[in-house]
Amino acid sequence: MKPNRKIAVSQSSKSGLPPGALVHVGDRDPSPTQVRYFVYNQDFIKEEQLDTAAESFPGEDQFAWIKVSGLSDLEQIKQLGVLLSLHPLTLEDILNTNQRPKYEIFDEYLFMVLKIIRIESSPNAGTEDKNNLTISSAQLSIILTDKIVCSFEEGESDIFKGIIARLFDEKRRLRKLGSDYLMYALADCVVDNYFFVFDRIGEEIEGLEDRIIGGTDSDVMGEIYALKRNLLNMKKLVWPLRDAITGLIRIKPAFISERTEIFLNDVSDHLYQLNDILESYREMSTGLYEIYLSTLSNRMNEVMKILTIIATIFIPLTFIAGIYGMNFASMPELQWEYGYPASIIAMVVTAGIMVLYFRKKQWI
Amino acid sequence: MKPNRKIAVSQSSKSGLPPGALVHVGDRDPSPTQVRYFVYNQDFIKEEQLDTAAESFPGEDQFAWIKVSGLSDLEQIKQLGVLLSLHPLTLEDILNTNQRPKYEIFDEYLFMVLKIIRIESSPNAGTEDKNNLTISSAQLSIILTDKIVCSFEEGESDIFKGIIARLFDEKRRLRKLGSDYLMYALADCVVDNYFFVFDRIGEEIEGLEDRIIGGTDSDVMGEIYALKRNLLNMKKLVWPLRDAITGLIRIKPAFISERTEIFLNDVSDHLYQLNDILESYREMSTGLYEIYLSTLSNRMNEVMKILTIIATIFIPLTFIAGIYGMNFASMPELQWEYGYPASIIAMVVTAGIMVLYFRKKQWI
Amino acid sequence: MKPNRKIAVSQSSKSGLPPGALVHVGDRDPSPTQVRYFVYNQDFIKEEQLDTAAESFPGEDQFAWIKVSGLSDLEQIKQLGVLLSLHPLTLEDILNTNQRPKYEIFDEYLFMVLKIIRIESSPNAGTEDKNNLTISSAQLSIILTDKIVCSFEEGESDIFKGIIARLFDEKRRLRKLGSDYLMYALADCVVDNYFFVFDRIGEEIEGLEDRIIGGTDSDVMGEIYALKRNLLNMKKLVWPLRDAITGLIRIKPAFISERTEIFLNDVSDHLYQLNDILESYREMSTGLYEIYLSTLSNRMNEVMKILTIIATIFIPLTFIAGIYGMNFASMPELQWEYGYPASIIAMVVTAGIMVLYFRKKQWI
Amino acid sequence: MKPNRKIAVSQSSKSGLPPGALVHVGDRDPSPTQVRYFVYNQDFIKEEQLDTAAESFPGEDQFAWIKVSGLSDLEQIKQLGVLLSLHPLTLEDILNTNQRPKYEIFDEYLFMVLKIIRIESSPNAGTEDKNNLTISSAQLSIILTDKIVCSFEEGESDIFKGIIARLFDEKRRLRKLGSDYLMYALADCVVDNYFFVFDRIGEEIEGLEDRIIGGTDSDVMGEIYALKRNLLNMKKLVWPLRDAITGLIRIKPAFISERTEIFLNDVSDHLYQLNDILESYREMSTGLYEIYLSTLSNRMNEVMKILTIIATIFIPLTFIAGIYGMNFASMPELQWEYGYPASIIAMVVTAGIMVLYFRKKQWI
Amino acid sequence: MKPNRKIAVSQSSKSGLPPGALVHVGDRDPSPTQVRYFVYNQDFIKEEQLDTAAESFPGEDQFAWIKVSGLSDLEQIKQLGVLLSLHPLTLEDILNTNQRPKYEIFDEYLFMVLKIIRIESSPNAGTEDKNNLTISSAQLSIILTDKIVCSFEEGESDIFKGIIARLFDEKRRLRKLGSDYLMYALADCVVDNYFFVFDRIGEEIEGLEDRIIGGTDSDVMGEIYALKRNLLNMKKLVWPLRDAITGLIRIKPAFISERTEIFLNDVSDHLYQLNDILESYREMSTGLYEIYLSTLSNRMNEVMKILTIIATIFIPLTFIAGIYGMNFASMPELQWEYGYPASIIAMVVTAGIMVLYFRKKQWI
């Protein structure tokens, strides 16, 4: 599992500029901007062009979803900002994709920042044992007004494919309830996706466990560290989002109906659950480190034991052989008829005592 | 002690679906659904069929307990949802058995999620020393309305056998007090069962202690890790439940009478106590790890000491023997009459000095 | 220092029973019940029999202290419950001696649970260095009504001897002030006793420090663990009691006069101080573990150094001796007149270089 | 990365003095004082001399920025204190550059303390691998009244160059909005600069990671410690500033308009983000330590393995050679024709068995 | 740095006594009591005898400071208690010098407990490297009424010399403002002194750093532990004092004017700063431990490497020599003319391969 090595600070690249300056800030080059306009109510839905509808957009009794993906076309985004009368700082936050998850309430709209997490197995990792997960995140900014939801995705993704499909199905609640329910559906979709990512990380942890406890692999420290780093990055996404959603529910802003609030509570529940899992994972990764350390110690112990056993058995024997290798003129034993076998017996006895001693120590 | 290896995330298997979709989500296949209906008041109790009583269920001055176990029959559960006018999200939560313990208050009912913990000693573990505990949890969802308690158990269990027995005994408080007291009785029964589980874990910890301090076993790290993981899982059940019960008491919902509140306080007390114990266990497991690490170090020290003693005693002796094994033409000592015994004496003296030195160092 | 090995869970032994069932639950067999009745006011005090006074007990303008020790006589305790009109759960809590410290306010009375800590030096420990402290706790339940204090001690103890003596001394504040002051006096007495226990643990820690730093003892890990466990147990007693007393002061129940409140503040201060000490002790025990670990490492280092020095000095020498022990037909050095002394000199020079090298490395 | 070794306590150098005594306190000698006066409104801006304008400074409908850098000229600063009617303690805090970030609200003005962080690569570090960052901080005190912003920088820096430039550009918001917006702009500029510093530290961490995991460098512990210390110092700056800004927004002081508040919220967001990053960095540095420790253990293991393999292979062989080097008169093997090759074969077989054993143990 | 080994529990020595009993409790014998009375207002100041002024003390429009040092004369302190109408518990707290810092508000007075920290370099420590700091604390109790400040110092110290001097200087604010400002001045003086102590500890830490990183000293673990213990003791003083001062400011007691409150805020700021420093120190001491541990490991690694290199180079050589030391009748090599030089060359080549291998492994 490889963490996304680029640490997300990078605010600095715009450090000299005045606040509210519209410059894209992020770790990646911005994707080309693509805008889709959906207008719908309980009875109809169509995808249309904004320029034909800008003034009276959306029509009476209609809701709209402006789905922007890719943030490279600053001009188009600026126009949307005018249409929705966004505060300059909001526009800046949309373009700076290093925001933490948060919500902000303005007089005319509610602004929300979430993170879409993408997980990729690096194909170049090769070995079947080591799954190398690369976790990256893309910013999703949502503007909610009375009748319009405007979502800005950092890059292109098909995470909302299911929602578009449900939107075109007239039997769905999504069509019957207002913009706030659509905003909830987007957030719920993003958070549900986290569970998928956590599942993958969970499998990763289990793989690591097996390899550490099984002892088949001696160099997992780098992977434990990468795991910890991935969990750290996840925490930076999940914790503030949980706080944001909980705060949003408590504040009960005008843009969100009570009916939708119950559904938001559900998202909040999921985030609490994700938090619990995240904390478990973090403690488990600490546990893996401890297991790994003790595995190292154990292995060292075993190595040392074998060295000690062999060395301590043979060192005295070699010493005995050394004695009878001395060239003194008068060494009576050397002339004994059974001197040689006697010395061999002495060696065997010595070795036997050693072995018994080690067996008593439970080393063998 | 083996933790339940399946990490409870799995929300993802329904990730694309709209909220409120009725699909069973869980780690296990759902058990077959079994529904029992109890209608009772102070004077009578009977177990009856719902279809005969659905409209006027339960009758005036009567309380009812609908006990559902097994979540496979979606149709039947949906019908119950209609009978009790449950919110779609509530039904979804009942079927998704990966909820955290929580409570939710709706206008018509109170919804509560608890976890029943089951503990099993794996019989295949074999050795009498190592008790392998498998801890698993099953979800219990409770719906409380004015007159009805409806409990949904994930699987089948006989944990509520005692409560049914008390219900059939007319002298019991359970018959005299209303539905809220029955709900309390169910929760109390679940929490009391936690104490039993904690007792088992406590014995496990003591067994580990004995084996680590006694030093009879060298490979307990996997078990310490499993213990930690089990405690982590317990924490994910106990902490939110404590918060839920405490929150429930503070909020004083309409469905719960003041009389029952005092009893709920008692459950809350128990959960605080369980929390204390859990935290102790977690600190103890850390302590066990530390002890184990230092045991490893100590053992290594002992091995090293023996190696060092034997090697350092014999190496100089072997060196002396080596010298007199040299084949120089003129080595006067070799011709001395008492050269051989003198060399032996030199060796003994050298060894003696070594031994004294080690004794001074308190190694022997 | 040996911790009380029985981990205090044991709620489970009554797991199937309905709440409020009167069964003694605890780690020990209950002691025989002994009840003493003290009736007093500013002018008189006498110890009397309850049966003669039950109806009008205590008389007008009188206060009473019912001192129960030992919880085996369920019947007598049930009668007291009737006399004081105790809630069934209160009676249950009194008999179940695994409660955490807490307070509960009922309409007719205030219920408080404290723990008396007993510390014993095990006489069988033997060696003068190792003090083996056994820490155990006994439950003290206090019922406070307008005019009556009723205290239930789990076992027999003479901790309240001083309070009885003060009660019989008419000049004491204890006689002049009401029941609430008596309750305070009991709690203060229990908490003051904690300081004594902490003093003993402090001495224990200092003893451990001396032995670890002095290095005279190599196997203190078990004792550090026992110390940690004792501190954990203390924390389970001190923290909730602090919360309970602080909560009691904040809530200002009707049973406690403002005059007594100031004194309770004093108890609360003491508990905060005990908490500080406890936290220090816990950090110190961690520090002791760290010291111990580094002592182990240091000792290993020293052992390794000696082995390395001796081995690396003699191995090359033995090699030189080995060379001249070879039996080649033509080895010119062997025939040199001063070959032998030359080889000895070569060995001495080699050894000298080694020694100088080690001295430069500051190993010798 | 070298931490600023001077630990910022030094309050002590004025310990005997009365509060409010005007003495410069700091780690460095004060820089020479330089004061610049900017007067501006939407229509004009000029930089002027104070003495010509002191009484009516700034004019009606005008805002002023008094930019002080260097705190050595106590007299001039005292005069500014009189002009702005500063409390003696405020003046003292301006001169004592060891303040923590904070804000204080007085009747006539708002007082704020921030820290400007400077980061320098030590050129003397030399090696291309090791970037040695020296992190130092300089105090920035801001006084905000209705119409005046007065900023006191500890030393000289050009951090506000961009702000002066924007001030001279009449199209900028900075000119149109009041003093509170200027104060915000200063704070925003300081906080934006933190991102730059964090970027550098992030690179440092990545460099350390590479060197530790790559194992090319064996002595990174000092650098990990320096990193931790730098992060500690950053935390002492960022945490209180976050609390101060958040507190300021909550309190809504009269000096700050609602319009500016939204912008301050943005600064607060950035500080929360910096906090997240800081905490990640701190956990990463702990992770680096763990990786480093396990790298040490691994390396030791490898060393031990090689020693053990070579020693255990050759020790028995040397023993066999030793046996046939003995000088017993009757050693039949010695006379055998193929004794020598047989002994060699015995040795090879022994070595082969050893090698197979080690291969089975997966050591080779 | 040596911690004050006596752990401050010792409440126990009065455990049997009733609350409010006037007995001195502390770690040291009480110093002889010395009382000085200062009466002052804006226009005059004199030091006088109490007995001449007790009834009308201090006079109209006058403030008084009763400075008590040494707590041995219980009678005199009791009289002061009567004069100031102190609650019995207050008197008890003054005499029991093991209080935590706190404040208590009574109807007639405000009671505050602080700790004066004294730091001493043990002269007997000797070596110039190791500064042995002994940190001890003395209790300062302050009673504040409308017109009187009464300070009780545990022992004698000249910490308030500067305040007395300022009091005698009529131009000082101290003379113009009331008793509450004097109380503030005393507290400020005590807290300022903490900075001095922290400076010394900071130097101590830097010394330790240098010695650990420099590696000139191998036995710093005891000192790290002593440092940690000193920091623990400081924390027990600083944290509660911070809470007390902050609480005092929030509660706004009648005895403290708004003017003085601003100054108390300053003390509170200092305490927050001290807390930050303390926490840094505590983390640094952990960092020092980690560095020390890895230094130990590194040293072990180096020792092992040298042993391994020398042993693995010479063991095969010695084996070759051993082969040619065998006494087989037919060993053709022995008869070869260049057998000896060939064997030497074989040895050199073997050694060379070893050295190359180690160089590849970057061990040499």
The answer to whether the Cβ–Cβ distance between D9 and E213 falls below 8 Å is: no
Average pLDDT on A69-82 reads: 88
Residue with tokens 């600053």: A74
CA–CA distance from A305 to each of A361, A364, B362 (Å)? Answer: 11, 9, 22
> Is a pLDDT exceeding 80 seen at residue D256?
yes
Q: Where are the domains of chain C?
A: 11-296, 299-360
Whole-number pLDDT of residue E17 = 56
Residue of D172, D269, D270 lying closest to A18 (CB–CB):
D172
pLDDT reported for residue C130: 52
In chain E, residues 280-339 whose CB comes closer than 8 Å to chain C: 289, 292-293, 296-297, 299-300, 303-304, 306-307, 310-311, 314-315, 317-318, 321-322, 324-327, 331, 333-337, 339
Amino acid B102 reads K
Asked if pLDDT for residue C123 goes beyond 80, the answer is: no
**Measured in Å, how far apart are chain A's first and last C-alpha atoms?**
39
Tell me which chain A residues have a C-beta less than 8 angstroms from the C-beta of B11: 192, 195, 270, 273
The encoded tokens of residue E259 equal: 């003017």
The mean per-residue pLDDT over the stretch E55-84 comes to 85
pLDDT at residue number A281: 92
Specify the pLDDT at position E295.
83
Residues 232-271 of C with CB under 8 A from E: 262-263, 265-266, 269-270
What fold characterizes domain B11-296?
Beta Polymerase; domain 2 (3.30.460)
Contacts of D190 (CB under 8 A, 6+ apart): D114, D115, D116, D140, D159
Confidence (pLDDT) at B50: 62
Comparing CB atoms, the residue among C172, C325, C331 nearest residue E18 is: C172
Question: Which member of C213, C273, C315 has the closest CB to residue E100?
Answer: C273
CA distance B208 to B212: 6
Amino acid at C45: I
Taking the Cβ of residue C176 and every Cβ of chain E, the question of whether any pair is shorter than 8 Å is answered with: no
E293 to D296: CB separation less than 8 angstroms, yes or no: no
Cα(B1)–Cα(B228) distance, integer angstroms: 10
pLDDT of residue E109: 92
Residue B23 CB partners (closer than 8 Å, separation 6+) = B14, B17, B95
Count interface pairs B-C at CB distance under 8 A. Answer: 165
A278, closest residue in chain B (CA to CA) = B9
CB pairs under 8 A between A and D: 164
Chains that touch C (3 or more CB pairs under 8 A): B, E
Residues 6 or more apart whose Cβ sits within 8 Å of residue E190: E114, E115, E116, E140, E159
Percent of chain E with pLDDT over 70: 85
Rounded Cα distance, A166 and A175, in Å: 8
pLDDT at position C54, please? 58
Residues 6+ positions from A263 with CB-CB distance below 8 Å: A181, A184, A188, B19, B89
Q: How far is CA D332 from the centre of its chain?
A: 78
In this complex, the chains that touch E, judged by 3 or more CB pairs closer than 8 A, are: C, D
Average pLDDT score, chain E = 82
Q: What is the DSSP letter of E12?
A: G
Tell me which residue has tokens 């007993």.
Answer: C118
H or E element that contains D143: strand D133-144
Write out chain D residues lying below 8 Å of E264, CB-based.
Answer: none
Token reading at A138: 């893309």
Cβ burial of A360 (10 Å; 0-12, 13-18, 19+) is exposed
Q: Is pLDDT above 50 for B126?
A: no
**Per-residue pLDDT reduced to its tens digit, B299-351:** 888 887 887 888 888 888 988 888 888 888 888 888 888 888 888 899 999 99
E151 touches chain C (CB under 8 A): no
Does the beta-carbon distance from B334 to A329 stay under 8 Å? yes
Q: What's the pLDDT band for C216 if we cut at 50, 70, 90? A: low
Question: What CATH homologous superfamily does E299-360 map to?
Answer: Magnesium transport protein CorA, transmembrane region (1.20.58.340)
Of the pLDDT bands very low, low, confident and very high (cuts 50, 70, 90), residue D62 is: confident
Q: Does the distance separating the beta carbons of B218 and A298 come in below 8 Å?
A: yes
Residues of E in contact with D333 (CB under 8 A): 328
Size of the D and E interface in Cβ pairs below 8 Å? 164
Contact B343 A331 (CB under 8 A): no
Q: What is the pLDDT of residues C140-181, one digit of tens each?
A: 999 999 889 999 998 888 889 889 988 888 777 888 888 999
Q: In what order do the strands lie in the sheet with B63-69?
A: B45-48, B34-40, B63-69, B148-153, B133-144, B110-121, B102-105
| Distance (Å, whole) CA D187 – CA D110 | 14
How many of the other CB atoms lie within 10 Å of CB of E43? 9
Cβ contact, residue pair A327, B326, below 8 Å: yes
CATH for the D298-360 domain, from 1.20.58.340, 3.40.1530.20, 3.40.50.300, 1.10.260.40 = 1.20.58.340
CA-nearest residue to E287 within chain D is D225
Q: In the predicted model, what is the mean pLDDT of residues E303-307?
A: 80
**At residue D50, does pLDDT exceed 70?**
no
Q: With cut-offs at 50, 70 and 90, classify the pLDDT of residue E42.
A: confident
**Please, which pLDDT band fits residue C352 given cuts at 50, 70 and 90?**
very high
Q: Model confidence over B176-220: pLDDT tens digits?
A: 888 999 999 999 999 999 998 998 899 889 888 888 877 666 678
What are the CB-based long-range contacts (under 8 Å, 24+) for E74-80?
Answer: E74/E22, E74/E24, E76/E33, E76/E35, E77/E22, E77/E33, E77/E152, E78/E22, E80/E35, E80/E150
CB pair distance less than 8 Å for E192 and D9? no
Q: What is the mean pLDDT of residues D332-339?
A: 84
Work out the average pLDDT over D90-119.
Answer: 89
Q: Tell me how close the Cα of B356 comes to any Cα of chain C, in angstroms.
A: 15
List pLDDT tens digits, range D319-331. 888 888 888 888 8
Enter the pTM of the model.
0.80
pLDDT digits (tens, 9 = 90+) for B87-110: 988 998 899 888 889 998 888 899
- Chain D hits for A208, Cβ within 8 Å: none
* Residue C6 pLDDT: 42
Q: Give percent of chain B with pLDDT exceeding 70.
A: 86
Contact call for residues D325 and E323 (beta carbons, < 8 A): no
Residue of A206, A283, A323 to mutate, testing the B interface (most B Cβ within 10 Å of its Cβ): A323
When pLDDT is averaged across residues D332-346 and rounded to a whole number, the result is 86
Select the residue of A9, A240, A293 nearest D294 (Cβ to Cβ).
A293
User: What pLDDT shows up at residue E123?
Assistant: 54
- Give the pLDDT of residue D31: 80
Confidence of residue E278 (pLDDT cuts 50, 70, 90): very high
**Banded model confidence at residue E306, pLDDT cuts 50, 70, 90:** confident
CB E82 within 8 A of CB E59: no
Q: Which residues of A13-27 are buried (b: 16+ CB within 10 A; e: fewer)?
A: bbbbebbeebebbbe
Choose among A101, A192, A185: nearest CA to A144. A185
> Which of D298, D319, D363 shows the shortest C-beta gap to A296?
D298
Residue from C68, C325, C8 nearest B281 by CA: C8
Considering only residues 190 to 209 of chain B, which have any Cβ-Cβ distance to chain C shorter than 8 Å?
192-193, 195-196, 198-199, 202, 205-206, 209
Distance from C-alpha of E113 to C-alpha of E146, rounded to nearest angstrom: 18
- How close are the terminal C-alpha atoms of chain D, in Å? 39
Give contacts of B 6-65 with A, CB under 8 A: 7-12, 14-20
Q: Which of A125-129, A156-160, B157-161, D157-161 is predicted least confidently?
A: A125-129
Please give, rounded to a whole number of angstroms, the shortest distance from the CA of A321 to a CA of chain D: 5
Output D8 or E267, whichever has higher pLDDT.
E267
Q: Which helix (H) or strand (E) holds E210?
A: helix E179-214
**Angle (CA) A324 A330 A333, round 5°:** 45
DSSP 8-state symbol, A324: T
Considering the four listed CATH numbers 1.20.58.340, 3.40.640.10, 3.20.20.70, 3.90.105.10, the one that applies to the domain covering A302-360 is: 1.20.58.340
With contacts defined as CB-CB under 8 Å, which chain D residues touch E182? none
Cβ distance E283 to D240 less than 8 Å, yes or no, reads: no
Best of B205, B289, B294, B357 to substitute, by most chain C Cβ atoms within 10 angstroms, is B294
Q: What pLDDT shows up at residue A278?
A: 92
**Distance in Å, alpha carbon of A99 to nearest chain B alpha carbon:** 25
Q: What is the pLDDT of residues B282-313, one digit of tens each?
A: 999 988 888 888 888 888 888 878 878 888 88
**What would the pLDDT profile of B236-270 be if each residue is shown by its tens digit?**
889 899 989 998 988 888 888 888 888 898 899 99
pLDDT in tens, C254-281: 888 888 888 898 899 999 999 999 999 9
Cβ of E339 within 8 Å of Cβ of C329? The answer is yes
* pLDDT band (50, 70, 90) for residue B12: very low
Q: What are the CA-CA distances from residue B154 to residues B83, B181, D44, E99 (Å)?
A: 20, 22, 75, 55
Per-residue model confidence (pLDDT) at position A11: 45
Residues in chain A closer than 8 A to B326 (CB atoms): 327
**How would DSSP label each residue in E128-186?**
SS---EEEEEEEEEEEE-SSEEEEEESS---TTHHHHHHHT-TTSHHHHS-HHHHHHHH
Q: Is the dihedral of CA B237, B240, B245, B248 positive or negative?
A: negative
Alpha-carbon gap, residue C117 to C4, rounded angstroms: 12
DSSP summary character for residue C84: T
Which pLDDT value is given to residue D2?
A: 42
Contact D283 A307 (CB under 8 A): no
